[in-house]
Amino acid sequence: MSVARFIADQRTNYRVPHTIACALLGVSLSWFYKWISRTPTPTEQRRAEVDAAVAKAFKDVKGLHGSPRLVADLREAGWMVSEKTVADSMRRQGLVARVIRRRNGLTRQDKSAPKFPDLLRRDFTASAPNSRWVGDMTEVPTAAGKLYLATVIDLYSRRLLGAATGLHPDAQLACDAITMAVAARGGAEHIAEVIFHTDRGSTYTADKFTVLCRRLQIGQSMGRVGSCFDNAAAEAFFSSLEWEVLSRSEFAGVAQARAVVIDWCYGFYNHQRRHSAADGQSPINYEIATLKREAA
């Protein structure tokens, strides 16, 4: 970066008067004025255009995409840019996509309940929709108490099919999520014999939930106790939720938390958020593209 550019950026970004910056750096005001009034070079013009496009794309996705996903967004919009170019632009503009935050686990095992075998064995892929689903629960803290979220995700496209919220992380919440997922796929006749993989928490081994799964012809699968890797796909979803929503928000109550979380789940995550397991597309777009290929 040139001295003149540094002075200009200090004035623009940090409101440091250029007269003071010039004096501190030992350069004349006339030299700086000559530089600032000159015609920008093609490289500088291109950089300014890229910065503007990156800033707009970053804003369009609510500041949730890092450089790899922003590159895909920009290329889809017609820009010819590399990931390094986008990363440099984000760095210049102070655009940061993620803040890491940990969460507490909710798994509470009922040792007397029947156990189900692990049918996935850490293979979180699916060759077709409604063949393998995964699910889990997490808590959403608010000033008025905790809200709980139960999910059901199709491993084929990583689409979130069910997102049930409630005040208690119980079997009823798990039932609500799986019922939503079945409805999203058009009814029980379209999901018969799907495998639903979870942890060994008591919510998923409770009679209320296991009876519902048998009635819907859903085969239950469970990972080992204390191994997050056995349900990594479901854990990855919650990591994204925490990084992109919970770490950026403070909720006054459960109603506000529910509105924000559900909007992110069904709006941004399903329709906009690009996923590496879905060929860099959003889950909905990936499923639509598959249907078009099959129709062709």
Q: Is the pLDDT of residue 123 over 60?
A: yes
Residues in the chain: 296
Q: Are residues 173 and 275 in the same domain?
A: yes
Q: Are residues 190 and 258 in the same domain?
A: yes
Average pLDDT of every residue of the chain: 87
What pLDDT does 113 receive? 64
Burial of 185 (0-12, 13-18, 19+ CB in 10 A): buried
- Is 99 contained in some domain? no
Q: Are residues 76 and 152 in the same domain?
A: no
What pLDDT does 260 receive? 95
Q: Are residues 88 and 136 in the same domain?
A: no
Q: Are residues 75 and 161 in the same domain?
A: no
CA 209 to chain centre: 28
Q: Is the pLDDT of residue 106 over 70?
A: no
Instruction: Name residues whose C-beta falls within 8 Å of residue 126's C-beta, 6 or more positions apart in sequence.
Output: 132, 154, 155, 156
Helix (H) or strand (E) holding 166, with range, is strand 159-166
Pick the last residue of a domain from 93, 123, 151.
93
- Is 100 contained in some domain? no
- Is 39 contained in some domain? yes
Asked if residue 205 lies in contact with residue 171, where contact means CB atoms within 8 angstroms, the answer is: no
Pick the last residue of a domain from 78, 93, 108.
93
Domain limits at 79? 3-93
Q: Are residues 184 and 40 in the same domain?
A: no
Q: Is the pLDDT of residue 1 over 60?
A: no
Q: Which residues of 44-65 are buried (b: 16+ CB within 10 A; e: fewer)?
A: eeebeebbebbeebbeebeebb
- Is 125 contained in some domain? no
What pLDDT does 216 receive? 95
- CATH number of the domain where residue 185 is located: 3.30.420.10
Helix (H) or strand (E) holding 112, with range, is none
Q: Are residues 152 and 277 in the same domain?
A: yes
CA distance 29 to 25: 11
- Is 68 contained in some domain? yes
Asked if residue 175 lies in contact with residue 162, where contact means CB atoms within 8 angstroms, the answer is: no
What pLDDT does 15 receive? 82
Asked if residue 237 lies in contact with residue 150, where contact means CB atoms within 8 angstroms, the answer is: no
- Is 73 contained in some domain? yes
Backbone angles phi, psi at 57, to 5 degrees: -65, -40
